[in-house]
């Protein structure tokens, strides 16, 4: 249902003004759309209206952060109550302790936790804690995996055929121009899920590795789950060589009640979280083994190994919203959202067959991603889009956005929320069918 315009300005007018005050006219590149971004007016449940009054179904959910969609009444009520009492103090709050207790109770390996303000910060702090605990400088991360914008976790986030090098020893490719060489020198790149190559790479730097960083379902690598063999091998290697195995579950904590890690018999030493655990507000957290987390403990005797603070860390608004959101995301909610996602994947697969297009789909839990490739990718190099594929993906997503009134993540992914129902899933698969037909002739030329 389309509503009235809510601004006297058009999207184009606002963007013209935005270009004068922000590089590219935006504060985050993910909201860009050609010829101009669309500006939000309001949102409720799984629907978002832009300022032209056009309503769309939200399958992006602020990049996977709104597990209950927009404006869940219980979250609004709890946050409104807290707003009256204050938004941030130079005092600790009980809200923070209650939320810490809740998150700790969800996963077997969580003994201590600290809160920060973003996923980037959580991964950064987790890496620094690993270095402080082991006294070693290097980390290893998967080629193509996104872990936020800390110098070290950015390495090889966007490696491409012209710079990624030999698969046996992938290059460490800094992302931001001007990154000091010592950053790349301290980040080893491994091919995801490739046990043999990864162990050989790690073996070359046995005494220097503080931690092996793993996103158990890395979105940019292709949204493929880490296999048991890989996790067990990394766990064994890290035990043998005094290193840590650390998980980035900033997106993937949603996969089970206790994160994707619930599915593995061995557990990470530390885990970063973010996105959905903030209940719609900025958040990050890292949790894990007590002895490792003690590097952050200023009450211990001796020199503090990792001094850590943050002005808005554990602010009571985020802590309250996060606790309510996570309590609502109980075992039943996780199960039914995952089931709805399975249905969505089945229906999209059917649409792919009917349209007879070389498209594939991957997914886990409440996340799915489509690939403009006939065979589902198994690793980053297979998932990588060349410029023609990338341009066609934009065309597909634009068709869905403008014609079908469906919003997805710009990688071709959907991050579902509990606000969605079968009705919206049907609209998604019908919309995809139309979109596949729309780009079919160009798709066939690509493959
Ligand atoms: N890690 C992962 C796996 C992520 O997907 C993201 C964000 N997309 C981050 C870290 C960084 O989180 P934030 O944007 O909150 O800094």
Residue 345 sits in the same domain as residue 260: no
Q: CATH no. for residue 335? A: 3.90.1150.10
Q: Indicate whether 1 pLDDT > 80.
A: no
Q: Give Cβ neighbours of residue 53 (< 8 Å, ≥ 6 apart).
A: 2, 3, 4, 5, 6, 41
Protein residue with its CA nearest to atom 7 in ligand 1? 148
Beta bridge partners of 273: 285
Residue 262 sits in the same domain as residue 181: yes
Instruction: Give the nearest ligand 1 atom to 275 CA.
Output: 15
Predicted TM-score (pTM) above 0.85: yes
123 lines ligand 1 (CB under 6 A): yes
> Rounded mean pLDDT of 121-134?
98
Question: What's the CA-to-centroid distance between 395 and ligand 1, angstroms?
Answer: 25
Residue 209 sits in the same domain as residue 280: yes
Residue 208 sits in the same domain as residue 88: yes
Q: What is the pLDDT of residues 240-277, one digit of tens each?
A: 999 999 999 999 999 999 999 999 999 999 999 999 99
Question: What's the CA-to-centroid distance between 63 and ligand 1, angstroms?
Answer: 9
Question: What's the CA-to-centroid distance between 23 and ligand 1, angstroms?
Answer: 21
Q: CATH no. for residue 104? A: 3.40.640.10
Residue 311 sits in the same domain as residue 323: yes
The pLDDT of residue 66:
98
Q: What is the pLDDT of residues 195-235, one digit of tens each?
A: 999 999 999 999 999 999 999 999 999 999 999 999 999 99
Tell me, yes or no, whether 4 lies in a domain.
no
Residue 401 sits in the same domain as residue 279: no
Active-site residue flag, 275: yes
> Which of the 8 DSSP states describes residue 260?
G
Active-site residue flag, 248: yes
- What is the domain range of residue 31? 11-67+331-446
63 lines ligand 1 (CB under 6 A): yes
Strands (E) located in 264-313 = 270-274, 284-288
The pLDDT of residue 8:
84
Q: Map residue 49 onto helix, strand or coil.
A: strand
Pocket test for ligand 1, best of 274, 380, 415 (most atoms within 8 A of CB): 274
Our count of domains for the chain comes to 2
Q: Indicate whether 3 pLDDT > 90.
A: no
Q: Which of 146, 190, 257, 380 is catalytic?
A: 146
Q: What is the pLDDT of residues 280-292, one digit of tens each?
A: 999 999 999 999 9
Q: What is the pLDDT of residues 232-247, one digit of tens each?
A: 999 999 999 999 999 9
Q: Which of 15, 275, 329, 399 is catalytic?
A: 275
Tell me, yes or no, whether 117 lies in a domain.
yes
- The percent of the chain in helix, strand and coil, each rounded to the nearest 5, is 45, 15, 40
């Amino acid at each position: 249902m389309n509503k009235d315009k809510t601004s006297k300005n058009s999207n184009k007018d606002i963007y013209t003004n935005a270009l004068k005050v922000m590089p590219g006219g935006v504060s985050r590149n993910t909201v860009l759309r050609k010829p101009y971004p669309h500006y939000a007016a309001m949102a409720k449940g799984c629907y978002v209206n832009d300022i032209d009054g056009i309503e769309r179904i939200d399958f992006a959910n602020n990049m996977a952060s709104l597990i209950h969609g927009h404006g869940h009444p219980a979250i609004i009520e709890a946050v409104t109550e807290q707003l009256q009492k204050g938004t941030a103090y130079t005092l600790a709050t009980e809200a923070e302790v209650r939320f810490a207790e809740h998150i700790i109770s969800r996963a077997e390996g969580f003994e201590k936790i600290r809160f920060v303000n973003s996923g980037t910060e959580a991964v950064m702090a987790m890496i620094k804690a690993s270095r402080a605990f082991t006294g070693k400088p290097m980390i290893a991360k998967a080629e193509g995996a996104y872990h936020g914008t800390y110098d070290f976790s950015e390495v090889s986030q966007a490696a491409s055929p012209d710079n990624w090098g030999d698969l046996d020893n992938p290059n460490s490719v800094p992302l931001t121009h001007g990154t000091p060489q010592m950053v790349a020198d301290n980040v080893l790149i491994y091919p995801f899920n490739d046990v043999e190559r990864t162990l050989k790479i790690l073996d070359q730097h046995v005494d220097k590795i503080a931690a092996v960083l793993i996103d158990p379902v890395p979105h940019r690598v292709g949204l493929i789950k880490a296999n048991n063999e890989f996790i067990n091998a990394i766990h064994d290697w890290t035990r043998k060589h005094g290193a840590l195995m650390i998980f980035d579950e900033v997106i993937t904590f949603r996969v089970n009640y206790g994160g994707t890690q619930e599915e593995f018999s061995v557990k990470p030493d530390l885990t970063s979280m973010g996105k959905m655990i903030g209940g719609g507000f900025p958040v990050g957290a890292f949790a894990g083994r007590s002895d490792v987390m003690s590097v952050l403990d200023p009450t211990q005797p001796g020199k503090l190994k990792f001094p850590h603070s943050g002005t808005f860390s554990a602010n009571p608004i985020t802590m309250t919203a996060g606790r309510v959101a996570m309590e609502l995301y109980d075992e039943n909610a996780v199960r039914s959202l995952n089931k709805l996602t399975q249905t969505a994947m089945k229906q999209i697969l059917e649409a792919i067959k009917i349209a007879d297009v070389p498209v594939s789909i991957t997914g886990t839990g409440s996340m799915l991603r489509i690939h403009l490739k006939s065979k589902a990718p198994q690793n980053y190099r297979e998932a990588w889009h060349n410029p023609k594929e990338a341009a066609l993906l934009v065309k597909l997503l634009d068709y869905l956005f403008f014609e079908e009134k469906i919003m997805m993540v710009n990688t071709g992914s959907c991050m579902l929320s509990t606000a969605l129902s079968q009705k919206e899933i049907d609209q998604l698969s019908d919309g995809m069918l139309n979109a596949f037909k729309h780009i079919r002739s160009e798709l066939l030329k690509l493959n």
